[in-house]
Amino acid sequence: MEIRSYSTALTAVVCVVVLSFVMASCASESKKAGTGGQPSASGDLIRSDFASGELTKLCENSLNAAQARIEAIEKIPAAQRTFQNTVLEFEKTLADTWDVVQPLTFMKYVSPDKDINKEGAVCEEKVGEFSVKAFGRRELYNAIKDQKSSVAAEHRLLVKMLEGFEANGLKLANDKLAQVTALFVKLNNLQNTFSANNNNDNTTIEATKEELEGTNDDFLSRLKKTPDNQRYIVTTKVTDYTDLMQNAKSEQTRKRMAVAYANRQGIENTKLLEEALQVRQQIASLMGFKTWADYQLSRNRMAKDSKTVMDFLYGLKDKLSQRNKDDIAQLLTYKKTYDPKATAVQMWDINYLGYQLKKRDFQLDNEMIKEYFPSDRVVQEMFKIYSTLFGVRYEEVAGAHSWNSDVKLYKIIDMKDDRLIGYFYTDFIPRQGKYSHFAAFTLISGRMMGKEYNQPVSAIVGNFSPPSNGKPSLLSHDQVTTLFHEFGHIMHQTLTKGPYASLSGSNTAQDFVEAPSQMLENWVWEEKILDRLSGHYQDASKKLPKSVLTKMIQARDFQQGYHYSRQLMLALTDMTYHTSTGPVDTAAIYDSLFKDVIGVDPVPGGHFAASFGHLMGGYDAGYYGYLWSEVYAQDMYSTFQAAGILDSATGDRYRRTILEQGNMEDSGELLTKFLGRPSNNEAFLKKLHISNAKKVKATKNPG
């Protein structure tokens, strides 16, 4: 699967401190925007019903108010300056501001109103520029740098805050600082345009019913048709793409889809990406680093430099190489059963051959399996499982207003004392202009406000197959897995107890942030969990047949050599781009690595990186984190396996030591506390069926 979680950043520049828009004010403005952790009289937690220009005005007012507050901090006389009125006031200023602007920029990703969508995008760009400039203020940096605190939490905040300033060039001379700030503003704008292009992409292909032979009636029934009613219009959204690539018998149809998919925004976004890579190189050089990757990895990462990451990735490449070759050979052998002259597997064959072979060898049919996973049931059963693990319950907020009619709002209640903890929205049905994958967005951050804790608000945004042909939204097992993963991010964001917004929720080291969610994917491979989740859409009492369930679990390892090699290829693509110097030919590098790592020719003339959102959404020189953090995910899961996967005591310890802590301690220290020992890679390599692994410490290279 291409993307499990898409962590977006309002700006990649200072996400280390405050701008994590992960999956990402004046008090008076907060009330106007419908924020603050309690629904308004109209049922809103965040607003979405803006008049033309209103969102823009709210955004500008909030940023202007924040600017005034920052200037007031700078003007405090030295004799009157304290930790409270300097460090804590700056943190509070930013947190107040984000509680207003995060819901506003969120409209870029979800609003069905094109004008509001555009205003959200403009606001996001303005917020990025504001952030760069806020962390580029010399006088403010000097005032904060001189503060001291003996309180552990305050010291942690100060250290991380200074890291944010210094990552923006505050250790440089003024002339270089001005250059870095200007480059960061330029980078922010390039990233936002890239993201908006992807969100608004409407690439399609047209095909006759004959050319779509092999796909089912449910798929065909949800497609629009050309004006002459002779051809179907198939989008390149992930739901349509997956259905076609797994089921269409015509190799030419699959090739046309693969070419279209690999060229979404190919011309425009390739230019933006390659320009961004040059800007990043300039910033890294001014900051005293050889490459952008080394600059990024020097802060808020468990890995500290590009060599450590490259050693990890190439170490995995060597270990995975034979498994991947065996997987591709298996696909070619199957292809020859219907095409005896076949000599190679093409890129557009892989999903089709894998799915058809899986159906043959394991008698697993995704379309039949989907019937046992109606989305409403899966979501409710998932809530019960998470409730057991973490001691909370979820209640839908009746009458809540939102940006679309199928969006729901839930509150989270602590079962020990019936205390309201936070809220989250669910937005699962695809529509034009909506974010095209899955992500968890922080809308209002958890933090202490006086003696009360500000209740966090998040949103899980995704694209399930929509209801069609008289059937409700039905989920593949892959989609169930993704749901468990993304809801893990929601729990990380909303069960937090971090006292400061910049260190609460999922604002952790970026190469650890996926670990809590990756760990929770394991639950959907457990027999008793799958049995609980399943229930036929026509009769919920009819469970997924035992024989099918058993075969699903047996098939878990099927083609995993290819799956992990593809993740490895994407990570190497990202790292190669960001360890390069001089002009970067993104298509040539991607194609070369695809051939080298996967062993299959890439799509001819493709520009996959143009729609690889991670590269311009805060995961630049960070995609390796998916593989890196899975080492920790599997290690943590081994603790649950030993105690029982629904053991509430282990779940509670996990909640207290990992989810609630945010970034109040280094990730490696939190891992050691939860595990009762330093982390190692044994469980990860066991999952990959790779032996003779060397144990490593949690804070070192996990490969």
Q: Count the Cβ atoms, other than its own, within 10 Å of residue 644.
A: 11
**CB-facing half-sphere around the CA of 492: CA atoms within 13 A:** 31
Instruction: Assign residue 580 a region (left: φ > 0; alpha: ψ between -120 and 50; beta: otherwise).
Output: beta
319 φ/ψ angles, rounded to the nearest 5 degrees: -70, -35
Quote the CA–CA distance of 107 and 24 in Å, as a whole number: 12
225 φ/ψ angles, rounded to the nearest 5 degrees: -120, 160
Pick the catalytic residue from 486, 521, 630, 660.
486
SS3 state at 412: strand
| Per-residue CA distances from 330 to 326, 337, 366, 433, 626 (Å) | 6, 11, 20, 39, 26
Read off the DSSP letter of residue 526: S
Which residue carries 């929720």 as its tokens?
505
Quote the CA–CA distance of 485 and 566 in Å, as a whole number: 19
Quote the CA–CA distance of 531 and 548 in Å, as a whole number: 11
The beta-carbon contacts of 669-678 under 8 Å, at least 24 apart in sequence, are 671/632, 671/635, 671/636, 671/698, 672/698, 674/636, 674/639, 675/635, 675/636, 675/639
Virtual CA dihedral for 203, 353, 342, 232, nearest 10 degrees? -30
Q: Which residues contact 356 (CB under 8 A, 6 or more apart)?
A: 334
Q: Which residues contact 226 (CB under 8 A, 6 or more apart)?
A: 206, 232, 233
555 φ/ψ angles, rounded to the nearest 5 degrees: -85, 0
What type of residue is 265?
Answer: Q
124 labelled catalytic: no
Give the sign of the dihedral formed by CA 111, CA 117, CA 120, CA 125: positive
What is the side-by-side order of every strand in the sheet holding 224-225?
A: 204-207, 232-235, 224-225
Which residue carries 């032979």 as its tokens?
213
Which residue carries 């910049």 as its tokens?
502
DSSP alpha helices (H): ranges in 512-607?
515-521, 527-533, 546-554, 560-579, 586-593
Task: Record the tokens describing residue 324, joined without a space.
Answer: 């991947």
SS3 state at 226: coil
Angle at 700 between CA 695 and CA 701, to 5 degrees: 75
Whether 525 contacts 480, CB under 8 Å: no
Virtual CA dihedral for 604, 606, 612, 615, nearest 10 degrees? 100
**CB-facing half-sphere around the CA of 556: CA atoms within 13 A:** 15
Virtual CA dihedral for 118, 123, 126, 128, nearest 10 degrees? -100
The beta-carbon contacts of 165-169 under 8 Å, at least 24 apart in sequence, are 165/135, 165/136, 165/140, 165/141, 167/13, 167/14, 167/16, 167/135, 167/287, 167/295, 167/299, 168/13, 168/14, 168/132, 168/135, 168/136, 169/136, 169/286, 169/287
- Taking every pair of Cα atoms in the chain, the longest distance, rounded to a whole number of angstroms, is 85
> Hey, which residues are catalytic here?
486
